[in-house]
Amino acid sequence: MIQLHDLTFTPFISEEKITRSIEKISRKINEDFSGEKPVFLVVLNGAFMVATEIIKRFDGECEVTFVKLGSYEGTATKGTVDTLIGLSHSLQGRQVVVIEDIVDTGNTLAALDRILKRHQVAGYKIATLFFKPAAYQQAYPIDYVGMEIPNDFIVGFGLDYDGLGRNLTQVYKLKEETMTNLVLFGPPGAGKGTQASVLKEKYELIHISTGDVFRYNIKNETDLGRHAKSFMDKGQLVPDDVTIKMLEAEVDKNTDAKGFIFDGFPRTVAQAEALSDLLAKKNTEVSAMIALEVDDEVLVKRLLERGKTSNRADDADEDVIRHRIKVYYEETAIVKQYYLKQDKYYGVDGVGSVEDITERISKVVDSLQKKN
């Protein structure tokens, strides 16, 4: 795998296969233009590598000219061609071979067709190393195709992602998203910690508890820990950007993870949006918010029982317990609505044995993974 900017790409087409495709195109061009002197029109920037390989295999005389047509921003096509660097040769009455690195929507070909007709060429043919039939929206025939490929975003052999990757001698495609990322919620006493431990083992997920992350950074006096502590010492809330940086550091420690369980975060819409932005940079997203739902009276009973052995003062006072439960619902109500609007909220009955509750959650997780 390779990393370009913020995205990960996996090997897709080998250098050997690319060479075989170029040789196939070159043989056909030599057959069709034997004894002629065509103009090779190279579409920049991506076609420079394939053009070099095709032109050096041409047996006769030829001329080469370049045009630049822009249709990409990042990984998305804009749908229109709006950048042109002018032709350097007169094309009137000439036979032209257009060399493209890739043909997807065909918008570039539409622009070239207008240009070539305006210059009154005798005729032209299109050669491309890669062709995406599923994306093609035009009717122009493509005369020489190296290989047909799926509608994936690719880099290498002249193709780039925001300026990087053109020099790669094989082709890579954007890594497919198969991660399962869960936001796990539950009121005090719902058994969220127990379920997180089971789920991380069953699905090989990384459990990230906001509380644990804070304690680790503060105890080890990391830069982020010291920064967070400076707010806590003043009795102030730690800013969201500090918290999200701590979480990002944890995510970055596990680049090959199958997914994450986020425990205790997000608590606000702003935090949910920050988490979404963080995961988007890693080419993934929150799969679901799973909330354990338990009746208040059951929670109170559980916590009072736990308080007999936990030595926690907040587990021994019923008024304190009820206040904690009330705060939980107040804090999570807006976040619940945030994920409901995205059809990512799943309420799970949190009453029953640990095994029964795990089975209910597992049905949700399994359904998410089937979608991937």
CB burial of 191-218 (b: ≥16 within 10 Å; e: otherwise) equals bbeebbebbbeebebbbbbbeebbebbe
CA distance 134 to 266: 39
* DSSP class of 314: G
- Say how many C-beta atoms besides its own lie within 10 A of residue 187's C-beta: 22
CA distance 368 to 285: 12
**Single-letter residue type at 191:** G
> 267 catalytic, yes or no?
yes
Give pLDDT, residue 21: 97
pLDDT in tens, the chain (372 residues): 788 887 888 889 999 999 999 999 999 999 999 999 999 999 888 899 999 999 999 999 999 998 877 544 454 455 454 444 667 778 999 999 999 999 999 988 888 888 889 889 999 999 999 999 999 999 999 999 999 999 989 999 999 999 999 999 999 998 766 789 999 998 989 999 999 999 999 999 999 998 899 899 999 999 999 998 898 888 888 888 999 999 999 998 887 788 999 998 998 899 999 999 888 877 788 999 999 999 999 999 988 988 888 788 878 888 989 998 998 888 888 899 999 999 999 999 999 999 999 999 999 999 887 765
Give pLDDT, residue 81: 47
**Single-letter residue type at 255:** T
Give pLDDT, residue 71: 47
> 192 catalytic, yes or no?
yes
Considering only CA atoms, which of 223, 307, 304, 239 is closest in space to residue 274? Answer: 239
Q: Are strands 84-85 and 63-69 parallel, antiparallel or unpaired?
A: antiparallel
What are the chain's domains? Answer: 2-174 (3.40.50.2020), 182-371 (3.40.50.300)
Give pLDDT, residue 264: 82
Active-site pick, 57, 173, 301, 324 = 324
Active-site pick, 267, 301, 322, 336 = 267
> 27 catalytic, yes or no?
no
Output the DSSP codes for 253-270.
TTTT-S-EEEES---SHH
Give pLDDT, residue 118: 87
Contacts of residue 91, Cβ cutoff 8 Å, sequence gap at least 6: 39, 41, 65, 116, 119, 120, 121
> 306 catalytic, yes or no?
yes
Measure the N-to-C terminal CA separation of the chain; round to a whole number of Å: 20
In terms of phi and psi (left: phi > 0; alpha: psi -120 to 50; beta: otherwise), the region of 112 is: alpha
Are 152 and 10 a contacting pair, CB within 8 Å?
no
pTM of structure: 0.56
Active-site pick, 306, 322, 336, 360 = 306
CA dihedral of 268, 273, 274, 277, whole degrees rounded to 10? 160
Are 257 and 279 a contacting pair, CB within 8 Å?
no
> 360 catalytic, yes or no?
no
Give pLDDT, residue 84: 47
Active-site pick, 281, 312, 326, 363 = 312
Active-site pick, 192, 200, 282, 302 = 192
- Lookup: tokens for 45: 């920037």
